[in-house]
Amino acid sequence: MDVRTTAIPGLLVIQPKVMGDARGFFVETWAEERYVAAGVDGRFVQDNMSRSGRGTLRGLHLQNPHGQGKLVSVVEGTVLDVAVDVRIGSPTFGQHVAVELSANDHKQFWIPAGFAHGFAVTSEHAIFAYKCTDRYYPEHELGIAWDDPDLGIAWPTREPSLSARDKAHARLRDIAPDRLPRYA
């Protein structure tokens, strides 16, 4: 597998080795020893999958406490996947990395705990899969406005399909610092 670092330390783009022939393909999407050696630091305790139509935007979400590291990929379709550093005291606080993920190239994105995460579907539909390092705690969930102008995210649509919950999220600067994770 090929592992690429990003502008924000800790965020990794992973290209697993894909073996294919006329019958189809095979790709190893997780091998603990190899991924840990590459910097994917986490014991996964929950797997999630969602299906969404074109123009759907989910996010930006995080949990604090009980931050979740996420290894994300697309099983079908394409998305623009975004991670925003929201760790108080981080030198890259408020900055983001955006990565196109596609079922065609099997690319994965490692997002450690302490980052807000979201994605927008750019194909007719997408099936999105993610492994999480902690379980979901609804009482600790936080959200940041997808269109927060301070973040400068170039989403592929200006009028996404959003949940009522995602429409109501505050800008990052309006969230009390004690609700956000700390940079270690």
Query: How do residues 11-35 score in pLDDT, each as one tens digit?
Result: 999 999 999 999 999 999 999 999 9
pLDDT tops 90 at residue 137: yes
Structure tokens of 115? 């980052």
Domains recognised in the chain with CATH numbers? 2-179 (2.60.120.10)
6 contacts 12 by C-beta, under 8 angstroms: yes
Task: Give the pLDDT score at 4.
Answer: 97
Cβ(113)–Cβ(45) below 8 Å? no
Residue 71: pLDDT over 90? yes
- Nearest Cα neighbor of 153 from 106, 116, 105, 113 is 116
How confident is the model at residue 36, as a pLDDT? 95
DSSP state for residue 111 in the 8-state scheme: E
Residue 63 token pair: 């949990």
pLDDT given at position 14: 98
Predicted TM-score (pTM) of this structure: 0.96
What confidence score (pLDDT) does residue 79 get? 98
List, for residues 86-122, the tens digit of each pLDDT value. 999 999 999 999 999 999 999 999 999 999 999 999 9
Stretch 147-157: mean pLDDT: 97
Average pLDDT, the chain: 97
Catalytic residue numbers, as ranges:
61, 130
